[in-house]
Amino acid sequence: MKSVYMDHSATTPVDPEVFQAMIPYYTEIYGNSSSVHSQGQKAHRAIEQAREQVASLIGSSPGEIIFTAGGTEADNQAIITFMNHERQKKGKHIITSAIEHHAVLHTCDFLVKQGFELTVLPVNPFGVVEPDVLRAALRSDTALVSVMHANNEIGTIQDIRTLAAISHEAGAAFHTDAVQTVGKIPVSVKELGVDLLSSSSHKLYGPKGIGCLYAKKGVRIGSYLFGGAQERNLRAGTVNVPGVVGFGKACELAQQRLPQNTAQLKVLAQRLTRGISDAIPNSRLTGHPVDRLPGSVSMVFDYVEGESILLMLDNYGIMASSGSACTSGSLDPSHVLLAIGLPHETAHGSLRLTMGKDSTQEDVDYILEKLPPIIKNLRIMSPLGQ
Amino acid sequence: MEYSQKVMDHFMNPRNVGKIELANGVGEVGNPTCGDIMHIEIEVKDDKIEDIKFRTFGCAAAIATSSMVTEMVKGKTLEEAEKVTNRTVAEALDGLPPVKMHCSNLAADALHEAIKNYRSGGTTLANVVKGCCKEEPDSLLGQGQKIRL
């Protein structure tokens, strides 16, 4: 059966070049990077080379990169340790947005339980955090603002540069979860003006279980795991050398391929969006129509439910995702779709198709052939909208 | 989460989908907010379910249980049909994933509503909407303060 993977915002396959680069670090150069002997030195050099590759992609200096076990850990460490440090200084107020990943939202909720104060900013119907809304929420004791660079569900890209500048005017630091953007669109920490940034390897054709936190020189964060001096005392634990090497290689490749991939994905996404909108009545694109992730097509269909769409697509080998309650593991549909103002019943009918570097026009045509009849059949079966 | 082959069969090839022209019993349960609505129409003759059709908005479990319940009671007497429960429907499908047991397993309830509607002599939709959503209060957050703007 044909297999069309349309879930690249969930994860990507490891690029064969990345995999090749990792292999020696499992069986040949297996030393602990903290060891003094030559095996350890080789592993250490590999980590430092990867640090340069990652830093080069996001325009930082290598010394500002801390390797973590992924984006979730980077978000947790950035927010928790920064706020712990600022508690007695700038203050205990933190600001985030209603559409953040749970790695940020649940971390903020944890801090609230510890006595911190949190403001959750609303977004407009495109999923954009409006500068004036942030400006009004900033207080003299706001220590940190955390707003994601691009949203994983609806693809909207935020104007981080403006939001960071506004935060800095009020003396607050700025963190961004850039898990969805690093390697997909140009990301420069200097141009964005951020103090902290989280990134994950497996979203850009690197291995799972590795990511990094960028912390601008002078920004005080602390250790989140204890028991070793690795990563300049900021991340204890034996370094995942093959993972780090793979992440570095993935960043190097992303930097080379980024312009071409982005252009190609934009064309495909446009065709897919238009094709679906033309073929299926009562369907709408969610998120921003222009300022969005290049390969991301997020739609809602009235009168049908997301899990049913996913399983019917999977029957044809098309793999996608949805923000319906059935796929979120709770009784409510995605918090992101509710935050952009969709009613519950509409949010249940969401479908996210996220393309990657190997997606083709044929894939788009195949989806345009299979999806419309699926929605039509589910609507015949539905008591709504008749 | 994985569905049984029977669930997938009833989901991909649902039985008895549609409306009945001469329905004399109609039942509906669920709520669009929760993502599940099950609508069942029956045509009863001589105390027997001559015909039964469903329309469902919901996930694979919701559709499969609706399809299964129609198959289980078609041609049966009302008394027999009343003995069918959400649990026996789930069992007939070789089980449902635990997370689906309470939210998407309401097809027998819809059937019972349709029978109740028939017994009360009406083809008007018994407007029974059963809530299934529980709000998680933010107040569980403890000593700090959270403001939603």
The C-alpha atoms of residue A117 and residue A111 are separated, in whole angstroms, by 8
- pLDDT reported for residue A1: 84
What is chain A's length? 386
- pLDDT reported for residue A329: 62
pLDDT tens, residue by residue, A317-372 = 999 999 887 666 667 889 999 999 999 989 999 999 999 999 999 999 999 999 99
Please tell me which of the candidates B37, B100, B144 has its beta carbon nearest to residue A115: B144
Residue of A nearest to B131 (CA): A331
Does the CB of B143 have a partner CB in chain A at under 8 Å?
yes
Please check whether residue A258 is in contact with residue A269, taking contact to mean a CB–CB distance below 8 angstroms: no
- pLDDT reported for residue B133: 39
Structure tokens at A40: 């350890």
Cβ of B60 within 8 Å of Cβ of A119? The answer is: no
Residue of B nearest to A350 (CA): B35
How does residue B33 score in pLDDT terms, banded at 50, 70 and 90? confident
Please check whether residue B12 is in contact with residue B3, taking contact to mean a CB–CB distance below 8 angstroms: no
pLDDT of B138 higher than 50: no
Closest CA to A300 of B35, B11, B100, B1: B35
List of chain B residues whose C-beta atoms are within 8 Å of the C-beta of residue A308:
11, 58-60, 63
Cβ of B57 within 8 Å of Cβ of A305? The answer is: yes
The C-alpha atoms of residue A304 and residue A379 are separated, in whole angstroms, by 6
For B140, counting Cβ atoms within 10 Å of its Cβ (0-12 exposed, 13-18 middle, 19+ buried), the class is exposed
- Most B CBs within 10 A among A305, A310, A351, A380, hence the mutation to make, goes to A305
| Selected catalytic residue, list B59, B103, B132, B133 | B103
- pLDDT reported for residue A348: 93
Please tell me which of the candidates B28, B60, B149 has its beta carbon nearest to residue A120: B149
Question: A342: which strand partners?
Answer: none
Closest CA to A365 of A297, A274, A286, A272: A272
Q: What are the Cα distances from residue A291, in Å, to A155, A159, A191, A352?
A: 8, 9, 17, 17
Average pLDDT over residues A310-316: 97
Cβ of A325 within 8 Å of Cβ of B143? The answer is: no
Please check whether residue A115 is in contact with residue A275, taking contact to mean a CB–CB distance below 8 angstroms: no
Question: How does B39-72 read in b/e, with b if 16+ C-beta sit within 10 Å?
Answer: bbbbbbeeeebebbbbbbbbbbbbbbbbbbbbbb
Residue of B nearest to A311 (CA): B60
In this predicted model, which residue has the larger pLDDT, B134 or A169? A169
List of chain B residues whose C-beta atoms are within 8 Å of the C-beta of residue A116:
144
Q: What DSSP assignment string belongs to B10-77?
A: HHHS-SSBS--TT-SEEEEEEETTTTEEEEEEEEEETTEEEEEEEEEES-HHHHHHHHHHHHHHTT-B
Residue of B nearest to A348 (CA): B35
pLDDT tens, residue by residue, A71-116 = 999 999 999 999 999 999 999 999 999 999 999 999 999 999 999 9
Structural domains counted in chain B: 1
Question: B43: which strand partners?
Answer: B51
Q: What are the Cα distances from residue B41, in Å, to A339, B13, B22, B50, B124?
A: 36, 19, 9, 11, 11
Q: What DSSP assignment string belongs to A230-298?
A: HHHHTS-S---HHHHHHHHHHHHHHHHHHHHHHHHHHHHHHHHHHHHHHHSSSEEE-S-SSSB-TTEEE
In this predicted model, which residue has the larger pLDDT, A6 or B30? A6
Cβ of B63 within 8 Å of Cβ of A115? The answer is: no
Q: Note the pTM of the prediction, 2 decimals.
A: 0.93
What's the mean pLDDT when you consider all of chain B?
Answer: 85
Please tell me which of the candidates B37, B55, B149 has its beta carbon nearest to residue A133: B149
- Measured between its terminal Cα atoms, the distance across chain A in Å is 35
List of chain A residues whose C-beta atoms are within 8 Å of the C-beta of residue B9:
none
The C-alpha atoms of residue A369 and residue B41 are separated, in whole angstroms, by 33
The C-alpha atoms of residue A230 and residue A98 are separated, in whole angstroms, by 34
Residues of A with CB under 8 A from a CB of B: 98, 109, 111-122, 133, 137, 303-308, 311-312, 315, 324-326, 329, 331-333, 344-345, 348, 380-384, 386
Cα angle A9, A10, A12 (rounded to 5 degrees) comes to 80
The C-alpha atoms of residue A352 and residue A5 are separated, in whole angstroms, by 12
pLDDT of A216 higher than 80: yes
pLDDT of A200 higher than 90: yes
The helix/strand/coil state of A18 is: helix
Asked if residue B148 belongs to a domain, the reply is no
pLDDT tens, residue by residue, A113-154 = 999 999 999 999 999 999 999 999 999 999 999 999 999 999
Closest CA to A354 of A2, A1, A10: A10
For A17, counting Cβ atoms within 10 Å of its Cβ (0-12 exposed, 13-18 middle, 19+ buried), the class is middle
Please tell me which of the candidates B57, B144, B146 has its beta carbon nearest to residue A120: B146
What is chain B's length? 149
Domains, chain A, with CATH or none: 4-11+258-381 (3.90.1150.10), 16-253 (3.40.640.10)
Asked if residue B138 belongs to a domain, the reply is no
Please check whether residue B39 is in contact with residue B55, taking contact to mean a CB–CB distance below 8 angstroms: yes
Structure tokens at B97: 């994933």
Q: Which helix (H) or strand (E) holds A175?
A: strand A173-177
pLDDT of B143 higher than 70: no
Structural domain including B82 reads: 5-131
Cβ of B32 within 8 Å of Cβ of A384? The answer is: yes
The C-alpha atoms of residue A235 and residue A76 are separated, in whole angstroms, by 12
List of chain A residues whose C-beta atoms are within 8 Å of the C-beta of residue B8:
311
Whichever domain contains B101, its CATH number is: 3.90.1010.10
Residue of A nearest to B98 (CA): A329
What's the mean pLDDT when you consider all of chain A?
Answer: 96
Q: What are the Cα distances from residue A4, in Å, to A207, A353, B76?
A: 21, 10, 44
Asked if residue B143 belongs to a domain, the reply is no
Does the CB of B28 have a partner CB in chain A at under 8 Å?
yes
List of chain A residues whose C-beta atoms are within 8 Å of the C-beta of residue B62:
305
Asked if residue B142 belongs to a domain, the reply is no
List of chain B residues whose C-beta atoms are within 8 Å of the C-beta of residue A113:
141-144
List of chain A residues whose C-beta atoms are within 8 Å of the C-beta of residue B14:
381
Question: Letter for the amino acid at A112?
Answer: V
Asked if residue B149 belongs to a domain, the reply is no
Q: What residues of A are annotated to the active site?
A: 326
Asked if residue B139 belongs to a domain, the reply is no
Structure tokens at A252: 């190097």
